[in-house]
Amino acid sequence: MSAPMGYSRAQIALHWIVAVLIVPQFVLHDGIAAAWDKIEDGIAVGFDPLVAGHVFGGIAILALVVWRLALRARRGAPPPPEAEHPALKLVAKATHGGLYLLLIVMPVSGLVAWFGGVETAAEAHETMKIALLALVVLHVAGALYQQFVLKTNLMERMKRPA
Ligand code: HEM
Ligand code: HEM
């Protein structure tokens, strides 16, 4: 399969929808963390929109990322800029791979914890949030570096389909 010149409309839309959906998963996590503490103490929890938002937001992310990976497997992704240093290419590849992996394992571990009552899964979920956050920060810093220092067209290809 030859590499495409850019991302498709669907790939771009899915990238930005997931980027938006991930924010409340981090910012509004207090509800689910408090509910989980209660469950661990054997206290019943009632309906809480923040908890429902975290659960359904996480499931939506999982579904969209699976869709995105299926598109990527079929269509591929554009190659990195030719002039890019090999070390930078490797960092970008590893960051994207790590992001995809965590975007699958985070919701799955959350689901196993919440619906299966598995404490280890909740602990893994809590630990992995740090790795996911670190990769997102690295990724956004990389995108800004490409845009403002290296002045490549990478940001453009996550805006306009090709
Ligand atoms: C990409 C998707 C997800 C992200 C980024 C995410 C992120 C987070 C974060 C940041 C916390 C707070 C951890 C803390 O206490 O410091 C959390 C807690 C939690 N999440 Fe998620 N979550 C996702 C998906 C899900 C899903 C789909 C479920 C379940 C259906 C879920 C269940 C839980 C549970 C039970 C906790 C409490 C665990 C604890 O505090 O130890 N999460 N999540
Ligand atoms: C302001 C925030 C963000 C900006 C400016 C941004 C920018 C970009 C750009 C320009 C690319 C294309 C890189 C290339 O062509 O090689 C890209 C790819 C990617 N982004 Fe983001 N991104 C942002 C947020 C996020 C977030 C929050 C996530 C994950 C939670 C994410 C996950 C990914 C992944 C996995 C790819 C690889 C796409 C592929 O090749 O399949 N991005 N991003």
pLDDT digits (tens, 9 = 90+) for 150-160: 999 899 999 99
Q: What's the angle, vertex CA 110, arms to CA 40 and CA 51, rounded to 5?
A: 70
Using the 8-state DSSP alphabet, how is residue 160 labeled? S
**Tokens 């963390």, located at residue:** 33
The percentage of residues in the chain with a pLDDT greater than 90, rounded to a whole number, is 93
Give domain limits for the chain: 9-157
- 66 CA to centre of ligand 2 in angstroms: 16
Which atom of ligand 2 is found nearest the CA of 11? 41
Which residues approach ligand 1 with their CB closer than 6 A? 22, 25-26, 29, 32-33, 36, 54-55, 58-59, 61, 103, 106-107, 110-111, 113-114, 122, 125-126, 129, 132
Reduce the DSSP state of residue 72 to 3 states and report it.
helix
Q: Is the CB of 75 under 6 A from ligand 2?
A: no
- 39 CA to centre of ligand 2 in angstroms: 36
Tens digit of each residue's pLDDT (9 = 90 or more) over 24-82: 999 999 999 999 999 999 999 999 999 999 999 999 999 999 999 999 999 999 999 88
Q: Is the CB of 18 under 6 A from ligand 2?
A: yes
Residue 1 has pLDDT above 80, yes or no: no
Predicted TM-score (pTM) of this structure: 0.96
- Least Cα distance to 99 among 57, 136, 142, 55 occurs for 136
- Least Cα distance to 72 among 6, 121, 122 occurs for 6
Q: Residue 81 has what pLDDT?
A: 87
Tens digit of each residue's pLDDT (9 = 90 or more) over 106-153: 999 999 999 999 999 999 999 999 999 999 999 999 999 999 999 998
Lowest mean pLDDT among 1-5, 31-35, 101-105, 156-160: 1-5
Among 41, 112, 129, the mutation site with the greatest number of ligand 1 atoms within 8 A of its Cβ is: 129
